[in-house]
Amino acid sequence: MSKTAILEFDGKKYEFPLIVGTEDEVAIDIDKLRGETGAITMDPGYKNSGSCKSEITFLDGEKGILRYRGYSIEDLAEKSDFLEVSYLLVFGELPTSSQLEKFENDIRKYTLVHEEMKNIIDGFPKTAHPMGVLASLTSALTAFNPKSVNVANDKEMYEAVCKTMAKFLVIATWTYRKAMGYPLNYYDNTKSYVENFMQLMFALPTGPYKANPVVVNALDKLFILHADHEQNCSTSTVRMVGSSHAGLFASISAGVSALWGPLHGGANQAVLEMLEAIQKDGGDVEKYLAKAKDKEDPFRLMGFGHRVYKNFDPRAKIIKKAADEVLNDLGVDDPVLSIAKKLEEAALQDEYFKSRNLYPNVDFYSGIIYRSMGIPTEMFTVLFAIGRLPGWIAQWKEMRVNKEPIGRPRQIYTGSPLREFKPINER
Ligand code: SDX
C-alpha cells in the first residue's frame, strides 16, 4: 500500500501522510489540509472521521469484533469481572491479585458522598428522569471536590479514578431512591462493588437485604459489556469537554447527558417501551416492522442498527444468551422476551433490514434482563452509564495524558452575505 494519499484539487496535487493502526486500519492525516489547500472536509456525524489515536478499545464493525486493550469481549465477559476490566481499561494492563485487591479497597476510601449532596437531590421532583438527576449530581460532585486532578501525577490520577468509581455508583442509585421516596443508602465497604449496586438500590431500613448472586453475576457481566466502545457519542463528548481542561466530573456529567438520548444509551429504555407497546397491541411484530420501514413513520426499531457494526454486535449475542440464563435461573417467564426474539427473527429475514445491515445492538436485550432483576425501565440507561464509567475515565485520561488539542471543528457558512443594519422603523 502507498505511504501517502494524493488529493487533486483546483488543478494542484497535494500529498498527505497515512496513519496505519495495529489492525491495519488506515487514516489519511489531514492535519495540514486547510493550510495547504484552503479547503476543509465535511463529514456530518463524523462517519468517516477519526478524532484521535487510541490504545484502549478496538472494534471491527464488519467482523463484529470488540476488544478492550487487546482482550476479546467474549473472554472478558466470561473470565473477568467488572472491577478488573475497569482497571484494565484505565491503566492498560490486567491487574495482579494484589493490585486488584488494592484497587477495590482504594475505591472504598471514597464511597462516602458529602451529606450536603442530599440537599441537591432533594431539589428534584420525584418525577425527574434519573439520567437528568445523575448528570446534575455528577457535575455537583465538583463543588465538593474542587481540586482539579494533575493528570501527570500518577498518584493523583489514580485517586481521582477511585473517587469517581466510588461516588458515581452511589449517586446513580440515589436517583432511584429519590424517585421511590426511599431513604438514600450508603455504600457497604464489606460488600463487592456490584453487590453494592444492588444493596444501594434495594436495601430498606426495615429489614435485612441479600442480593441474589445470580443477579450480581449477570449485572457484573452486563457492566463489562458496556464498559467501553471507542469513540461513541458519549465518549466523544467526554473527550471534547475534557479537551478544554474541564474537570473529570464535569466531563463525565456531559457524557451522561449524551448517553441519555434514545439514539444512544437511552435506546435500552426505548426498546422495553417498544416491546411493551407491541405486547399491548397483540404482539403483531409484522405491523411494527412495517412501521420501522415506513419513511413517513418516525418509528424506528429501537435496539436495532449501529453506526459501526454492520454485522452482529458481539455484545448483543452475549446478552441474548445471558437473558435466557438469567430469566431461567430467576424463574421469570417474561412474554416480552419471546416478542423480542420474534421481532429479531423477522427483522433478520427482512430485505429492508438485511440490505441496511441492521442487526440487534447492545440495547436490544439488556433491558429484558434488567427488568427481570426488578430494575425499573427509567433506570436502564443509568445502568448503561455505570457500566460505561471506566471507559469514559480511561478515554478522558488518555486524551489529557496525550495532551490532545482542544476540540474545535470548522464549518462551511451558508447564511446571508454581508448586509447593512436597518433601523427598526425601516424594517
Ligand atoms: C448505542 O456508537 C456506539 O458505539 C454506540 C453504542 C455504545 O456502546 O456506545 O454501541 C451504544 O448507542 C447503540 C445504538 C442504540 N440506538 C438504537 O438502538 C436506536 C435505533 N437505531 C438507530 O437510530 C440507528 O441505527 C443508529 C442511530 C444506531 C445508527 O444510525 P446511523 O449509523 O446514523 O444510520 P442511519 O440513521 O443513517 O441509517 C441508515 C439507514 C437509514 O435508512 P435509508 O435512509 O438508507 O433508507 O438505516 C435505517 C435508516 O432509516 N435505519 C433504521 C434503523 N436504524 C437505521 N430503520 C429502522 N429502524 C432502525 N433502528
Instruction: Determine the pLDDT at residue 1.
Output: 75
Q: Which atom of ligand 1 is nearest to the CA of 313?
A: 10
Residue minimizing CA distance to atom 37 of ligand 1: 307
Per-residue pLDDT band for 208 (boundaries 50, 70, 90) equals very high
Instruction: Determine the pLDDT at residue 138.
Output: 98
Residue minimizing CA distance to atom 39 of ligand 1: 356
Are 238 and 249 a contacting pair, CB within 8 Å? no
The model's pLDDT over 25-47, given as tens digits with 9 standing for 90+, comes to 999 999 999 999 999 999 999 99
Sheet holding 65-68, edge to edge: 57-60, 65-68, 71-72
Per-residue pLDDT band for 332 (boundaries 50, 70, 90) equals very high
Mean pLDDT of all residues in 154-161: 98
Averaged confidence pLDDT in the chain:
96
| Predicted confidence (pLDDT) at residue 172 exceeds the cutoff of 90 | yes
Percent of the chain predicted with pLDDT > 90: 98
**Whether the CB of 320 sits within 6 Å of ligand 1:** no
Mean pLDDT of all residues in 208-222: 96
| Predicted confidence (pLDDT) at residue 249 exceeds the cutoff of 80 | yes
**Centre of ligand 1 from the C-alpha of residue 300, in Å:** 9
Residue minimizing CA distance to atom 49 of ligand 1: 356
Instruction: Determine the pLDDT at residue 369.
Output: 94
The model's pLDDT over 401-416, given as tens digits with 9 standing for 90+, comes to 999 999 999 999 999 9
* Residue 387, C-beta contacts closer than 8 angstroms, at least 6 positions apart: 82, 222, 223, 224, 225, 226, 227
The model's pLDDT over 58-93, given as tens digits with 9 standing for 90+, comes to 999 999 999 999 999 999 999 999 999 999 999 999
- CA 189 to CA 105: how far, in whole Å? 8
Mean pLDDT of all residues in 375-389: 97
**Centre of ligand 1 from the C-alpha of residue 308, in Å:** 9
**Whether the CB of 343 sits within 6 Å of ligand 1:** no
Mean pLDDT of all residues in 227-248: 98
| Predicted confidence (pLDDT) at residue 140 exceeds the cutoff of 80 | yes
Are 393 and 280 a contacting pair, CB within 8 Å? no
* Residue 310, C-beta contacts closer than 8 angstroms, at least 6 positions apart: 61, 62, 357
Backbone angles phi, psi at 78, to 5 degrees: -85, -40
| Predicted confidence (pLDDT) at residue 2 exceeds the cutoff of 90 | no
Mean pLDDT of all residues in 303-311: 93
**Centre of ligand 1 from the C-alpha of residue 425, in Å:** 49
**Centre of ligand 1 from the C-alpha of residue 352, in Å:** 13
Per-residue pLDDT band for 325 (boundaries 50, 70, 90) equals very high
| Predicted confidence (pLDDT) at residue 380 exceeds the cutoff of 80 | yes
Q: Which atom of ligand 1 is nearest to the CA of 292?
A: 57
